Amino acid sequence: MKPSGSLRLGVNVDHVATVRNARGGVHPDPVRAALLAAEAGADGITAHLREDRRHISDADIEALMRDLKVPLNLEMAATEEMLAIALKHRPHAVCLVPEKREERTTEGGLDAAGGHNYLAPFVRQLSGAGIRVSLFIESDPRQLDAAKSMGAPVVELHTGSYCEAAPGAPRDTLLKRIQTAAAHAERIGLECHAGHGLSYDTVGPIAAIKTLAELNIGHFLVGEAIFSGFADSIRRMRETMDAARSE
């Protein structure tokens, strides 16, 4: 872990497993990638165990829990099946995400405000087991307030729309929304993270938000690994984040 005040990088290894599963074998191994990521400067590893197991498998989670020396952030839907898995493994952190079978990736944030009564028992049980719970939400003060009211200590702001927006005014508007939400999180006493879709081009303005504690990045880093290697892509992302943070 870096000293407090600095920005942690969580590397998501889901898409190493996507490539592995394309052939149904054991290569490339997401656990090996996670160990390499930690050596290259990742402060933690993130893995999303989806209901349909399209990338990360139950065995991957077991191996990550066994072999990792850095914290594991388990992303999962708020379901009874996933809750039982989380309580069995007790990872450092769980990030609750919305999940639809037909989506290609996590498409929006959790409706923490509308789903308060459903989600609150998950937050309570996970927290009771000593797991740091975060809710993956849109940059909407109502959602942040709902996360706070159900006792989640952390929120992760969805940066997908910001990353997909055209550079210039459309992206700047969405950046402003993320900046405002991060400031609101600090005001109400939530640790604030961000992630989804971040690349070398889009990470700078997000990393510059001083109240963010952690970014979770996966798809871009795994894609870049084809061109420059996984360790190199992580080191370059780390440098880009640190440079933006120190401005």
Three-state secondary-structure class, residue 23: helix
Query: How far apart, in whole angstroms, are the C-alpha atoms of residue 141 and residue 144?
Result: 5
In 81-211 the beta strands, taken as DSSP E runs, fall at 93-96, 132-137, 154-158, 191-195
Nearer to ligand PXP, 94 or 150 (CB): 94
One residue of 132, 219, 236, 245 binding ligand PXP per CB under 6 A: 219
In the numeric block, which tokens belong to residue 7?
């920005």
Query: How far apart, in whole angstroms, are the C-alpha atoms of residue 136 and residue 155?
Result: 6
Examine the residue annotation and report whether 75 is marked as an active-site residue of this protein: yes
| Window 143 to 162, contacts with ligand PXP (CB under 6 A) | 156
Residue 136 within binding range of ligand PXP, rule CB under 6 A: yes
Examine the residue annotation and report whether 196 is marked as an active-site residue of this protein: yes
One residue of 9, 195, 212, 225 binding ligand PXP per CB under 6 A: 195
Examine the residue annotation and report whether 15 is marked as an active-site residue of this protein: no
At a CB cut-off of 8 Å and minimum separation 6, what does 151 contact?
120, 123, 124, 127
Residue 198 within binding range of ligand PXP, rule CB under 6 A: yes
Name the catalytic one among 89, 184, 193, 196: 196
Report the interface residues with ligand PXP, using CB under 6 A: 12, 14, 48, 75, 95, 97, 105-106, 136, 156, 195-198, 216-220
